[in-house]
Structure 1
């Protein structure tokens, strides 16, 4: 066989700051810095923001996810920068000159963290960068703790609306059924309203919009203008034996078919006992449109808030004076009489105290048992006291009217917007922990700084470089790279000599030919495709048997040998056969 070593031209060596700039490595460093700063931006902008609203309600993501992506990107970019920086450092070191130990360490420390950690007095910038690349992965767990979720309660202005019918006078609440001209039964619809009231069912308008938590405000709806007066009355005194004395009462009176828009609530009670003055309360109530102070929950449930009967704030928008109602022989509807009847049946009371040795409570209605507010120790004495029932009665009438307005509303009813609405919302918000941010940033920025020295001196390189074994073999002038362009980048070099066969194995014998080339060569007798060329006579290698050689035979040499067999008719093709001890 015939082998020739072709010769390729030499590329120019062109160092330069801009022409040799490691673009991808530097961009990786810049990207790592940007991602590091991005973690601070994430924590700063998400702190205090509600869940599912960051960065916007339409497109939202958890800050912890964003932090994970940014830290992973930072770490990946630092690894990219490290790989390119190590390559530059190795070649710059070789340009500056050094021994083979330096050559090895610059490569070994880049590929072995333990070697970098235990480098001792041989510690260098490659070892530092390798250690920082290994350490920087802790930024992920640190950043994960930098953003958490907590519950907070906030009070802020809020607009909300409720669907409430604005005219309850269109719907009867009761009926006149006799000549007495008094309402004596309830309408079917109002009976359902009263049942819901007695069951304390939640008030749910057919539509309630705008409230996410607990909202408070005032809504305009049918209600009552209330004018209450309190007067003192003579004390009840202690009754004689076998005698009784009036101790209190509650009455709710519908003003009748001629004053159909009015209800009178009266109460008499003894707030300081029987031996001190009693108090009389009289409230004139007139139907109209008023502001109801309401509390609305996120599910649309409405609760009416009471206001003091003697409040200086006038919540009446207007008072209405309905038409005269018909009453007599037959059944005739009453718009408000059923409300008064229901309140009278619930609260109408009379209390008497009978002296049978001790004072015995007698009478009927809720007041006798529900409004006594004195301790049990004074039962049977003139020191028994009763609370004012008037606020409860008025509140019941207001709520029954409000419930009726809600009952008669539907999905087409115009919404009543709340005035002075505000919302108390307990929500989950993101909380940033900047101490973890500082820890994570410190690791990332230190790792970034550790990469920068690796790029120092890139402007001294005259071509693109890599740590490819082919390129390094060319730099060391390995025989099997003979003829290649020593200044070419690795891609060009592989086009020139990349097809040369290489195999690591045992050199079986050495031979010297007298044919073409006339030089010495080393062959593996077991290599397929290789034959002794004409005129080549094998001779024994020193210490190697001329017979078949085992890889474990004494004196066997291991090396990389290359070769491309060239047919006899193609002597001009590339060929080489080299043994490297």
Structure 2
């Protein structure tokens, strides 16, 4: 409603102004479909990203994701909720405008917009089909926004799972034992290898990358290294343990010797042991004979962190030979300084330690055994391999055996062979050292228990269904958007323009908020709780006082008839922008916001109001002469504006009889007619004759009509600045 002069007198905030041409009335016909398709594409993209994230993370390790899937899903669900809200908002606007386009009620229009909020769901359901549709869609969208995050989070979880994968590793280990490694025929110098075997000292990998196993797991593989190849035979014989002739018979023995009878050096291992006894004390004496030669074999090993271990059980049950080899250093010689070969070194290192023997004897009529005390014989091995369960209380042996001949031994063969392999492996690993000639690269199987992501495809389906349901609910409100000739929203500018708000009429044919803003967006407005006021608005606040005629600003109420002429002059000055009871702000006549004291009108109370001059008001007169109220009326717009103004209600300023002419000091051209002010009616609008002030009756001021301006000759005043009381300036 502001004209060109109002814009010049009331600049935009901060002093910026904008030159605008005539309204164009252009409308955005493509914005709605583009916006809808964009929102829909983004929503579908959120669904696809959710599915891709859940499928990709399934059966994948937790460390492989720098950002956990749960965080990604939380971000996607939040983005989805924002975009869904945007699409739903467009749908509500389309439904509102289509409803008003086809005709509806104000109640339904209210609930179409209000039903989008949870607090007005039920009111929307009862307000009609359009509002019910919005309320239903809003309820679904509300539930989807709440549910999509938790449901998608339930679709992914972590669990501990045993894993096995191949990794490349390195090691230095010798494939053959070189001559002289164990010393000479006259002396064995690798006691450290024997100590490591019997004391079970830990073997460590090299402290370098790819030599040890990743943490929290084990690496298993087979590597070729120096070892032994062997073949064994077994024979049995019967021995009567109660026969006196059997006394001093060998019941248990371990013996070794070197021989070249098969054309090459070989180590022979002979083991004899009483393997079983029947109910009549007849024992089975078993003899195992093994021939051993050097060979390169596959060793099953396990590496945990940097600890290297030989798997003996797998070595014996799945023995695999790469190749046999022999060396002249193992052939017998009397030269005690000659280097030994691998077999002679094994014999020197373990032969005297493992040799043992035990004999049958009688003690109080019961068969027993006695370890051999001969030199180079160990007395511990017969005890170590003796089966103590034969005479235990829970033994399954016959009572006669437990009482007369409780003798039985475990076979030492596997244990001794394992010790030979342990000795050879430790020797090969020690010999490998850091020498490049013994470097080997191998592939190990890494086994571990790791945290893995697992996707629940049932919850994944529920997530997709929930998101699709939200899309469908928001899209249901967009049906018929093609019937609208422009992009619509529920902006107060657009809806106010549709309802014919006076302040928005000067926007011309513009109907979209952006176009309205471009046209009159710099218009300043204020609201005091009862009316909207803007540049050029006029009204007066006051109270009726026992039938006394109220003034335009409520300053004449309660005055005596003797003061009629002075009150009239004060009212005239106020209409011209002066305030006889206020300090003047120069020549600026404007808009005051504060407490309009009704003491001028004879009342002791006060009320907040705007005071300003000449223009248009949204307020209408209400109240009455009996109950009091606020006098509201519109005044004519300044002639300086380009748009049509609202005509002022007629207000006769001709003094009543007895008042006399306007004093000459005012320079007024008002005649001395004998007519009186019209009486105040009990109801209806206040009729005020038009103000007709002659040339020279007003004081000149910047931007106002003077005695020479056309505005002055027509009695019109330019619009003044709206000034808020106690504020710094109109521009602040």
1:416 aligns with 2:416: no
Aligned match of 1:395: 418
Q: For residues 50 and 320 of structure 1, do their structure 2 counterparts lie closer, same or farther at Cα, with a shift above 3 Å needed?
A: farther
Match 1:303 to one of 300, 304, 310 = 310
CA contact (8 A) 2:256 2:351 kept: yes
Q: Report the equivalent of 2:469.
A: 446
Q: 2:88 aligns with which of 77, 82, 87?
A: 82
Name the SS for the 1:431 alignment partner: strand
1:58-104, Cα deviation, whole Å (9 max, x unpaired): xx542222222222221121122222322232222222221111221
1:360 paired residue number: 368
Distance 1:89 1:308 in 2: 80
Q: Which residue of 2 aligns with 1:201?
A: 201
Query: Which residue in 1 is equivalent to 2:347?
Result: 340
Candidates 232, 238, 257, aligned match of 2:236? 232
Structure 1 residue matching 2:232: 3-state secondary structure: strand
Aligned counterpart for 1:435 among listed residues 458, 461, 469: 458
Note the C-alpha offset of 1:382: 2.9
Gaps of 5+ in 1: 55-59, 178-182, 516-522, 547-552
Q: Are residues 1:50 and 2:61 paired?
A: yes
Aligned partner of 1:40 among 36, 51, 66: 51
**Deviations for 1:160-219, whole angstroms, at most 9, x for unmatched residues?**
553312232255224444xxxxx5xx42xx333332222323333437659654444432
Name 1:124's counterpart in structure 2: 132
| Contact persistence 1:254–1:341 (CA under 8 A) | no
Return the match for 1:319 from 317, 325, 332: 325
| RMSD of equivalent CA atoms | 4.4
Aligned match of 2:37 in 19, 23, 26?
A: 26
Q: CA deviation at 1:145?
A: 1.9
CA–CA distance in 2 between the matches of 1:144 and 1:155?
28
Paired residues, number? 541
The TM-score, its normalising length taken from structure 1, stands at: 0.79
The answer (yes or no) to whether the contact 1:164–1:415 under 8 Å persists in 2 is yes
1:244 matched to 2:248? The reply is yes
Quote how far apart the aligned CAs of 1:8 are: 7.8
1:484-499 aligned at under 5 Å gives the runs 484-499=507-522
Give the one of 96, 106, 113 matched to 2:102. Answer: 96
Q: Separation in 2 of the partners of 1:155 and 1:217?
A: 12
Aligned equivalent of 1:266, options 270, 290, 296 = 270
Q: Which residue of 1 aligns with 2:153?
A: 144
Equivalent residues of 1:295, 1:305 under 8 A apart: no
Give the whole-Å Cα distance in 1 for the aligned partners of 2:624 and 2:275: 127
Determine which structure has greater relative contact order: mean sequence separation of CA pairs < 8 Å that are 6+ residues apart, divided by chain length. 1
Whether 1:109 and 2:115 are equivalent positions in the alignment is: yes
Distance in 1 (CA, whole Å) between partners of 2:287 and 2:75 is 74
- The corresponding residue for 2:12 is none
Residue 454 of structure 2: SS of its match in structure 1? strand
Q: If the length of structure 2 is used for normalisation, what is the TM-score?
A: 0.64
Q: Could you tell me which runs of 5 or more consecutive residues in structure 2 were left unpaired when the two chains were aligned.
A: 8-19, 372-377, 393-400, 531-538, 542-550, 554-570, 574-589, 595-608, 642-702, 723-732
**Greater percentage in strand:** 1
